[in-house]
Structures are given as C-alpha cells and as structure tokens.
C-alpha cells in the first residue's frame, strides 16, 4: 500500500513512496545514480535514516537533494543541492545540520525565501527618492544633487547588496574612500544622506508587516566619524569682482556667463538662477518673482532688481527666442542650463581666485556689500530669501564695520589727549557733563 500524494503549497506533489521505513533506501551515490527517471514529472525517493531527507528525480534525468519539514503547522521544503555536485554523503551531512536547526525552531526554507526577497541597496535608494525626497524643501537642483549622491552610495556599497548585509564598517570605508578622492565635505554630505536612507529601512513600508532592517541592527551610519569642516565665508573684494567680470567677458559661452552675472547682481542661489524663467520676470517689471518650487524655503520669493540687473535682463530679453521658457536655456531643446562648474573653473583660473573660491561666494559677497553699506540684517535677509534671522546673522560682523571705524576715530582722539601732537576736539556745550 502506498501513501497518497500530498501537495505542499508552492511545491510539486510528491510521487508515491513506500509506506514502511524498511522499504526506503539509505541514499548513496550508487542508489541515486541508478534511480530510473520517470517519463514525466518527478519521482521522490525518501532516505531511510533522516526524517524528511530525500532526492527528486526529474523526467530529464536531473536529481536534487532536499529536506521536508513542518514549520508553524505548514509543510515546507528546503533544497540542499543537485546531484552529483552534491554527493549523497555531503547532502546527508547537510540534512543532519538542517534537522538540528529545524528542531531548534528555525525555518530554513522561509529564511532562504526571506534572504532571496530581502530588499537591496538600490531598492532602498528608490524608496528614498519616492518617500523622502518629495518632502525636502530644497529646489530641484539640490534634489538632483542628492540623486547623484545616492547613485554614488549605490556604486560604493553595491546596488545588489542586501540592506541587511550593510554594516558600519562598509559605511566607514565608503566615507574614507570618498574623502581620499579629495572631497572631505562631500563625504560628509553623502554620509548624511546615507544615514537618512538607512533610517527609512528601520520602518515598514505601507502594506508590509515588518521593516527592511531589524531595529537591533540599527543604522549602520551611526557612529561613523565625520570629517572636520571649517565654515567658509569668503567675500570677494572690489578688485576680485572686477577680475570676475573681466573673466566672464572673456568666456566664450555667454549663456553660462550671464547666468553667473545674474547671481552676482541679485545674490540668488545658483539653482534659482539656472531655473530662472521668463514668466518670473515678465509678471512685474523690475522684480523677480521666484516660484516656491525653485526656492529653498518652499515659498514664493519676490525680490526687486537693481538697475544693473534690469539692464542684464533687458539685454537677454532682446535676444530671446520665440516661445522660449528659460532665460538661460540648455543646448537640449526645452531644458534649462544644468551646470555652471565649467564656466566657474574658467573664471576662477582667469581671475586668479584660487581653488577655494566658489560660485556660492558670490551670494555671500552680495550680502556683505549690503551689510558693509549699513543695511539692516532683516533687509538683507529679505533680499536673499532667508526665512530665519539666524541664517543672516553670519553677516552681522560686516554691518559693524562702520561702527568700528567710528570707534577707532574716537579712541584715537581720547588716546592722544594730553599729548602735544594730539588734535583734541571739544564737545558741544550741551553735551558736557
């Protein structure tokens, strides 16, 4: 009498097998090799010694060892490997190891499935772009920069690496390798993006019942030391601004050069200038109305234009092509200019500014000129589009320059009092104490 064929969910039905243990052979290389292949389907032969251990012989002649067991009330099958790559003795020893794990409560087939289906680093990157990136307040240029950082994370950690296989040592090496390329600050920024990315893996996605990384594993970016950074607050002097203007005039690509000119004259962020559209300048003459999608603060920003900026915009308007959307169009149809590094490298070298000079320093210079001229910090903040006063506070020391000059003059007079060469100034009668 033979046992009925049982069908396990997700597995093919087993072939008839002997009911008595004595009828089951002890699987060996000779036994497995001499098993006759069925005309169709597969034949299952169970081992006499190890419960659940068996071999399946397929119609084509292929043979594969496995072990069957029950977990959570359900029958499961874990494939050990094909014969003869796996000898019968090796498969038997593996089956014994698996049986011990099963008896201890493990589920080899389920764990193998989880391993196979576990999310990869690339899938976590895609999740970051879909879930987190839309919540950021930065404009499109900054978001595109984050995508470039995500791509570098994927290339260095491995796109197909399982999220659960990434450890702090892997992240530390990534940070060190990027630093070794001469980009210490960039390494810190990439580490920050990676940290947020892996924090997402500690939570479940909608429709899932568990996170991508166990909470006990934690975020592999935590504890990785950052590179020391020094705040850069470079301000170009009059001579340097003149040299920058001369370099822009000498640059062959005037579209990119004019984009930098607009940054100089308005103090805008480079990304705002690159995405400047005619609709933003045509709405109100002598004003630039930036849409919320293009500003870091995620709100519209209306700023007046200086006569020099108006002159620049008018010159560009005269050369404007019919139906043009962008003030600084790319060579690709319908797209705005996407990068300024090429023109800035030319300007930096031509003007002798040094490798530490950045396009963003033009924005700092715009603010410093205003602070040095006695403009209040709130006014400067409004021009720059700052939403918080502490962001503008970095320019406070520049606004104090006129006061320092006055204090120096008064101090010089007081210090020279009583000296033969001192030029003592008498205070008005009403101010004497």
Separation CA 44–CA 65 (nearest Å): 10
Digitized pLDDT (tens) for each residue of the chain, 433 residues in all: 333 333 333 333 343 343 343 478 899 999 999 999 998 888 999 999 898 999 999 988 889 999 988 877 778 888 888 898 899 999 999 999 988 888 888 877 666 555 555 788 998 999 898 888 877 755 566 778 899 999 999 999 999 998 989 999 999 999 999 999 998 989 999 999 999 999 999 988 766 667 888 888 899 999 999 998 876 667 788 889 899 999 999 998 888 999 999 998 888 888 888 888 898 888 787 888 877 655 555 666 678 888 888 899 999 998 888 888 898 998 888 888 888 888 999 999 999 988 888 888 888 888 777 766 666 667 766 776 665 556 566 665 554 555 556 666 666 766 666 555 445 445 455 444 4
Residue 229 has what pLDDT?
Answer: 80
**389 and 276 both lie in a single domain:** yes
pLDDT digits (tens, 9 = 90+) for 288-326: 887 765 555 566 667 888 888 889 999 999 888 888 889
DSSP, res 39: S
Same domain, yes or no: 67 and 85: yes
Alpha helices in 270-388 (DSSP H): 270-274, 278-282, 307-318, 341-351, 361-372, 377-384
Nearest to 121 by CA among 197, 214, 178, 203: 197
Choose one of 115, 137, 155: the last residue of a domain.
115
Instruction: Give the end of a domain, one of 89, 115, 141.
Output: 115
pLDDT tens per residue across span 86-137: 999 999 999 999 888 888 888 776 665 555 557 889 989 998 988 888 777 5
Whether 330 and 191 map to the same domain: the answer is: no
Question: Residue 126 and residue 120: Cα distance in Å, rounded?
Answer: 10
Same domain for 292 and 157: no
Residue 229 within any structural domain of the chain: no
Residue 150: the pLDDT is: 95
Domain end (from 147, 175, 200): 200
Same structural domain, 108 and 177: no
Question: Is residue 361 domain-resident?
Answer: yes
Residues 156/177, Cβ–Cβ less than 8 Å: yes
Instruction: Decide if 432 is inside a domain.
Output: no
The strand ranges marked E within 26-154 are 42-46, 53-58, 63-71, 74-83
For residue 81, is it within any domain?
yes
Q: Does 378 fall in a domain? A: yes
pTM (whole model) above 0.75:
no
> Residue 299's pLDDT is what?
62
Q: Are residues 32 and 103 in the same domain?
A: yes
Q: How many CB atoms lie within 10 A of CB 330?
A: 14
Strands of 53-58's sheet in order across:
42-46, 53-58, 63-71, 74-83
Instruction: Check whether residue 91 and residue 196 sit in a common domain.
Output: no
**Domain region containing 66:** 21-115
Residue 322 belongs to a domain:
yes
Question: In this structure, what CATH number is given to the domain that contains residue 322?
Answer: 1.10.443.10
70 falls within a domain: yes
């Amino acid at each position: 009498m033979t046992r009925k064929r049982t069908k396990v969910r997700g597995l093919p039905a087993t072939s008839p097998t002997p009911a008595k243990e004595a009828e089951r052979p002890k699987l060996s290389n000779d036994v497995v090799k001499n098993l006759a292949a069925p005309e169709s389907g597969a034949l299952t032969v169970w081992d006499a010694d190890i419960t659940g251990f068996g071999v399946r012989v397929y119609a084509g002649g292929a043979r594969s060892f496995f072990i069957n067991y029950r977990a959570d009330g359900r029958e499961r099958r874990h494939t050990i490997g094909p014969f003869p790559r796996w000898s019968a003795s090796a498969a038997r020893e593996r089956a014994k190891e698996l049986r011990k794990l099963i008896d201890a409560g493990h589920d080899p087939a389920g764990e193998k499935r989880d391993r196979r289906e576990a999310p990869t680093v690339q899938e976590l990157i895609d999740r970051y772009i879909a879930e987190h990136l839309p919540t950021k307040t930065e404009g499109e240029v900054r978001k595109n920069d984050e995508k470039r950082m995500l791509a570098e994370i994927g290339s260095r950690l491995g796109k197909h690496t399982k999220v659960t296989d990434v450890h702090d040592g892997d992240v530390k090496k990534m940070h060190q390798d990027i630093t070794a390329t001469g980009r210490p600050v960039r390494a810190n920024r990439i580490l920050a993006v990676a940290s947020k990315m892996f924090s997402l893996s500690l939570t479940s996605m909608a429709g899932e019942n568990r996170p991508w990384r166990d909470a006990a594993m934690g975020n592999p970016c935590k504890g990785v030391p950052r590179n020391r950074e020094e705040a850069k607050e470079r301000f170009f002097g009059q001579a340097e601004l003149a040299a920058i203007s001369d370099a822009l005039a000498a640059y062959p690509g005037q579209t990119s050069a004019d984009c930098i000119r607009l940054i100089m004259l308005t103090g805008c962020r480079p990304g705002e200038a690159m995405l400047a559209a005619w609709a933003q300048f045509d709405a109100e003459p002598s004003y630039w109305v930036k849409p919320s999608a293009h500003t870091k603060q995620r709100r519209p920003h209306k700023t007046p234009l200086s006569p020099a900026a108006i002159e620049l915009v008018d010159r560009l308007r005269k050369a404007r092509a019919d139906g043009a959307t962008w003030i600084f169009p790319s060579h690709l149809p319908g797209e705005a200019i996407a990068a300024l590094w090429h023109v800035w490298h030319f300007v930096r070298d031509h003007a002798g500014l040094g490798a530490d000079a950045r396009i963003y320093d033009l924005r700092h210079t715009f603010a410093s000129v205003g602070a040095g001229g006695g403009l209040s910090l709130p006014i400067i903040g409004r021009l720059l589009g700052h939403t918080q006063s502490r962001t503008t506070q970095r320019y406070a020391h520049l606004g104090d320059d006129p006061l320092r000059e006055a204090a120096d003059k008064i101090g010089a007079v007081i210090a020279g009092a009583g000296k033969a060469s001192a030029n003592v100034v008498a205070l008005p009668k009403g101010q004497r104490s």
